[in-house]
Amino acid sequence: MQIGLACDHGGFELKEELKSFLRSVNIEPADMGTFAEDSVDYPDFGMLVAEKVSRGELERGILICGTGIGMSILANKFPGVRAALANDLYSARLSREHNDSNILVIGGRIVAKDLAKEIVRVWLETPFSAGRHKRRLEKIEAIEKKNFKG
């Protein structure tokens, strides 16, 4: 599996840490920036990952900004993206089990590096449980199809 990875300046340090972590578990991240701690606009980088996940070019992505809120809002504008802000293990697990999240968003200024690695590990290892949750996602997909005028 290849995972898209992007951040703004508020998530740069954590992105670099997670990039190494992903490689240590045999996942090659597609790093889409930013590539320094200089101030940037998160939409410019988050959209690169969200577009690829939306088009099916990447199975999953990880986005990081200061709080994770901005990247979450951005990513969920793309059809087929189910971005989940998970700054704790419980949210990471349920975002996969119940929501089949395909983009994980983390607050780089909120979550410590070791916890972030564990969040990513849980998110990667947790399968979608389907069942009643599949029905709910199908309802969301129907709304997307009806409203998306891309």
**Structural contact between residues 33 and 6, judged by C-beta atoms closer than 8 angstroms:** yes
Among candidate residues 7, 9, 65, 133, the one labeled active-site is 65
* C-alpha triplet 22, 68, 42: angle, nearest 5°: 90
Active-site residue, 98 included: yes
Active-site residue, 65 included: yes
Both tokens of residue 12? 């740069």
Among candidate residues 7, 9, 98, 133, the one labeled active-site is 98
Helix (H) or strand (E) holding 5: strand 2-7
Half-sphere exposure (Cβ direction) of 126: Cα atoms closer than 13 Å: 24
Question: Which residue has tokens 């590096």?
Answer: 113
Positions marked active-site: 65, 98
